[in-house]
Chain A
Amino acid sequence: MKTLVIGLGNPILGDDGVGWRVVEEVARRTAGRPEVETDCVALGGLSLMERLTGYERVILVDAIHTGQKPAGTVSRFLLSDLPDLTAGHSASAHDTSLRNALNVGRSMGIPLPEDSQIHVIAVEVQNVYDFSEKLSPPVEAAVSVAVESVLQLL
C-alpha cells in the first residue's frame, strides 16, 4: 500500500518539532522499502491536504497539547476519530481544518486516502512557545515510543 509518513510541526519551536524527529528516525528505519515515503513539513489545512494527494495511506505524526495527559504520552487514533472542531468555523489563523480540506479535495476529484487510512500518532507536548531546537526531556524520551508506534502500522 502506497504510504506517506509525514512529520508535522515547526522544528525550531521546542516540542513542536517532535513530529519531525520521529519521522526522521522512521525514514532511517524504513530505508529500502519503496512503498513507504516520508516527509517533514510545517503545513495544515489545504496545503496539507494537497501534500497527501495520490497516497492510499497516510500516517501523520504531530505534537498535541491537551494539557490533560503527561508530556510525552503517545496516542494513536484515526483523524476521523477527532471531532472536526472547525468544520463550520473559520476563526483559524489562515486556513480551514484538514478534515474540511479533505472534503474539499474529494469533491474536486483529487485522489486522497480514505478516512480509515489516515492515522495520527500524537505526542503530548509541554513547551511550544519558546524558540529552541531541543525537545523537553519527557518529549525526547517519547520519540522512540512514537517511532515504534508508526512502525507497527507499517
Chain B
Amino acid sequence: MTQRITIDPITRLEGHGKIEIFLNDEGEVANTYFQIPELRGFERFVVGRPVEEMPLLTNRICGVCPEAHHMAAAKAADAVYHVDIPSTAKKLRELLYMAFYCTDHTTHFYALAGPDFIVGPDAPVAERNILGVIHKVGLEIGGKVIQMRKYGHTVVEMIGGRKVHPCTSIPGGLTKGITEEQRKEIEEMGRWAIEFAQFSLKAFNDIVLSNKTYLDLILGDIYTHQTYYMGMVDENNHPNFYDGKVRVVGPDGKELVKYAPHEYTENVAEHVEPWTYLKFPYLKKVGWKGFVDGPDSGVYCATPLSRLNAADGMATPRAQEEYEKMYKTLGGKPVHQRLATHWARLIELLYAAERWVELATDPEITSPNYHAIPTEKPTEGVGIVEAPRGTLTHHYWTDERGVVTKANLIVGTTNNYAPITMSIQKAAKSLIKKGTVVNEGLLNMVEMAFRAYDPCFGCATHSLPGQMPLEITIRNADGEIVDVLKQFVD
C-alpha cells in the first residue's frame, strides 16, 4: 500500500510551499515533490509602464528582499538607457545593499537556522524558535539582533529614502546623496556591525562547531550534494553582491564559465516538469539530465555557500580569515555539505559589515556626483545582483520612449529549485526507513534540507499574521487519512 505524507499549508502563508512524500509498500520513500504556488502575471503587469518605475514596482514583488529587487531593477534600467552611473552612485547603492545584507543574514541565522542548531533539530517544538535561541544564548543576544536590524533599516532609509522599500535608485544613479554627518553615523553603525558579525561567528563556533553531533550532521551524507555553484565576483574573483560577473564552478571547483549580465541567456536555460508551475533553471552548456548530482548534470546552486565556492577568496581581511578557516575545517574546496551554508552565511555577514565600513569611509561617498543624466535611446538591458538567496536577474525591453514592452526575471530562490528538490528527497530517503515512526522531529530534519537554502517562494509578501502553519497528512493509496501531524502548538 502506498502511503502519502503531505507537508501542506492549512491557510494562507508567506509564500507557502508544500512537500509531499510518497512511501512505497515497504514503507520507504518512493518519491518526494516540493511544490510552490506561482504568482502570475508580473510580466504582463509591468508592460506599458516607464522603466524608471521598475525599481519601485519590483520591490513590491517580495516582502522579504525588496532591496535586492530595487537594485537589480535599477541596474537593468541603467542598462536599458546605456548609462554608466557615477562611481559615487555605485558606492552608495552598494553601501545601502551591504546594510540590507547584514539585516537579512542576521534574521535568517537567528530566526531560522539558530533554532535548529542552537536549540537543537529535535528539541521540543515550543522551544525551537528565536525565543529558544535567546534563552539558550542569553538575553543579550536578542538585544543585539534587534540592534543590528535597526542599524540596517536606518542606513537603508538614509540612502534609499525610506525603510525596507527604497525609492531613490533611478536610471543613471540616485536621486539623493548623503551628508558628512550621515556618513559618520553610517560608519559608526558599520563598525558595530563588524563586531556583531564576529560575535555571531564566535557563537557558531562555540555552540555548533564544538558540538560533535552537530558537526557530524553538517558533514554527514544526508545533506550533501555535488553540483555546480554560482556567484557574482569582482575582478579578483572575490564575491561582490552588487556588481561584477557571474562565475560558475563545477563540482570539482574548476571554473566552467564567467559571464557578464547580458550573457545570461547563453548560460542559463529553464526545464519544465509536469507537476509544478515553477521552472527549473539549469546550465545550458552542461544540459538538463534530471535531478542528479555530478559534472554531467546542469543543476547548479546559488546560495551563500555557492558564492564562496565560486570565489577564490574574500575581498575583506576578517572575512578572508573566516573563509580560510571554514574550508580548512570542512576539508577543502568546494564544500558540498549543504548545511555549511549557514556558516557561509555568517562569513558573508562579516564581509558585508566590513565592506559597509570600507564604503562609508570612501572619500567619494559624500560627493554630490551621484547621478548621470541618461542621453542614449533606451532599448534593452539586464541587471544582476546577488540577492541573499541567490543570483537575481532582471531583464527589460522598452520602446524608444523607455516604456516597458517585455520583462523577464529569474529570482534568487528559483535558481535553487532543482537542488532544493534533490536535498528534500535525499533527506527524506535517508531519514524515513521501513518501520520508522514519522514524528515531528524527523520531519523537521527533512525541512532542514530546504531551510539551508533560505528559500523565499512566491514572494507573497506576508500572511495574516505573518505566520506559516503547516500540516502533515499521511494518506494511504485510497486517499484515506492514516494520521495527521500538526507542526504547531496552540
Mark A residues whose CB is within 8 Å of B.
8-13, 16, 41-48, 50, 60, 62-67, 79, 82-101, 103-105, 107-108, 110, 120, 122, 125, 128-132
> How many interface contacts (CB-CB < 8 Å) are there between A and B?
209
Is A64 within 8 A of B464, CB to CB? Answer: yes
Contact residue among B104, B142, B460 (Cβ-Cβ distance under 8 Å from A128): B460
Mark each residue of chain B from 49 to 90: 1 if its CB lies under 8 Å from any CB of chain A, else 0: 000000001001001101000000000000000000000000
CA distance A11 to B462 in the complex (A): 12
Is A93 within 8 A of B468, CB to CB? Answer: yes
Stretch at the interface among B8-16, B22-30, B169-177, B314-322: B8-16
Whether B199 sits at the interface, judged by CB under 8 Å, is no
Is B129 within 8 A of A110, CB to CB? Answer: no
Whether B461 sits at the interface, judged by CB under 8 Å, is yes
Mark B residues whose CB is within 8 Å of A.
11-15, 37-42, 44-45, 57, 60, 63-64, 66, 104, 107-108, 111-112, 115-116, 124-131, 134, 139, 142-143, 146, 149-150, 153, 164-165, 444, 447, 451, 454-458, 460-470, 487-490
State how many angstroms separate the Cβ of B441 from the closest Cβ of chain A. Answer: 11
With A66-B12, A94-B108, A131-B45 given, name 7 new contacts (CB 8 A). Answer: A10-B461, A42-B462, A43-B462, A60-B465, A66-B11, A85-B11, A122-B464
State how many angstroms separate the Cβ of A72 from the closest Cβ of chain B. Answer: 15
For A64, A82, A92, A110, the residue with the greatest tally of chain B CB atoms inside 10 Å of its CB is A92
Is B451 within 8 A of A91, CB to CB? Answer: yes
Contact residue among B134, B142, B489 (Cβ-Cβ distance under 8 Å from A88): B489
Taking chain A's interface residues, is the majority helix, strand, or loop, or is none over half, making it mixed?
loop
State how many angstroms separate the Cβ of B99 from the closest Cβ of chain A. Answer: 14
Contacts of B490 in A (CB 8 A): 83-85
For A12, A89, A100, the residue with the greatest tally of chain B CB atoms inside 10 Å of its CB is A89
Contacts of A97 in B (CB 8 A): 465-468
Is B40 within 8 A of A94, CB to CB? Answer: no
State how many angstroms separate the Cβ of B134 from the closest Cβ of chain A. Answer: 7
State how many angstroms separate the Cβ of B37 from the closest Cβ of chain A. Answer: 6
Residue of B at shortest CB range from A9?
B461
Residue of B at shortest CB range from A122?
B464
Is A92 within 8 A of B467, CB to CB? Answer: yes
Contacts of B39 in A (CB 8 A): 13, 129-131
